[in-house]
Amino acid sequence: MTNFVELSIAKAINAGIRKAMQDNSKVLVFGEDVARLGGVFRVTEGLLDEFGDKRIFNSPIAESGIIGTAIGLAMRGYSPVAEIQFDGFIYPAFDQIVSQLAKLTNRSEGFVDMPVVIRVPFGGGIGAVEHHSESPEAYFAHTAGLRVISPSNANDAYWMIQQAIKSRDPVLFFEPKRRYWQKGQVNLDEPPQDMHSGRILRAGTDVTIATYGPMVVTALQAAEIAASEGRSIEVIDMRSMSPIDFGLIVESVRRTGRLVVAHEASTFVSISSEVAAKITELAFYHLEAPVLRVGGFDVPYPAAKLEEKFLPDADRILEAVDRVMAY
């Protein structure tokens, strides 16, 4: 009998890390306040009591040092899981990630693996101050040598963190922080699929919406509203931003003829830019309308009282659906 349990996304990540640490004594967890406190969002809560301070420990407030330490540990055969406390704090570690972590395996002609996971709570919706609500995923998806993924539900959170830890390559694991408390059924016995495969969450015939992370819930809300208006929307959870499961999106567009790509990040030089370009290349003769993109505005993330105007909502997605349906 399949073993199901209901967990929030935060608790599912916690459970996934715990399982990985139980299975592999070389898995270490560290970052700012991750040990006794359990992190700002309590994602690593309880791990210290179970595994001790040699396997989960606090780091100095120095993101470059966190990633540099992870690189050194990986070179000595460990599987480090490093937390960047908030998305906007990752930039001091940018050089370590793109100049060292992403390139060491290639530089060593495959001799040195880099099984490093960088956990990054990302996106807005929590009313935080500056540098706490950003979406920097495109920077890392652009960099060869890095894998970039994001779960949108508890089951994916539980399994994808384990798959990321088992990877021989470095993985940027973007956690949708405003969805941490969203609960769902987790199948403890069987992983849903490879962490880089997308998934159709809702079948439809008129328009495809491709999205990931925190925007998946919003896209499903938009699809539900559209259904009440007589329109059939197919929703794809991309799950992975590097590599991208283009095959799944192409198959969907061949059925619907229309594509809207949505995410919280601004659309300029974004994940949606790449998807729009690639789908136009691969499925040009199946498209009935241009690929449209919905994202945050091309401005720095605003103060908390304005973030609802910045973040794409169901209405902005439906506006794009109206535009592609008008062709």
Catalytic residue positions, numbered: 132
- CA-based R_g, the chain, Å: 19
3-state secondary structure 256-270: HCCEEEEEEEECCCC
In the sheet with 259-266, reading across from the earlier edge strand, the strands are: 199-202, 233-237, 207-211, 259-266, 292-296
Report d(CA 205, CA 50) in Å as an integer.
49
Task: Please tell me whether the peptide bond between 151 and the residue prior to it is cis, using omega within 30 degrees of 0.
Answer: no
Q: How far apart are CA 321 and CA 315, in angstroms?
A: 10
**Residue of 215, 124, 224 whose CA lies nearest to 177:** 124
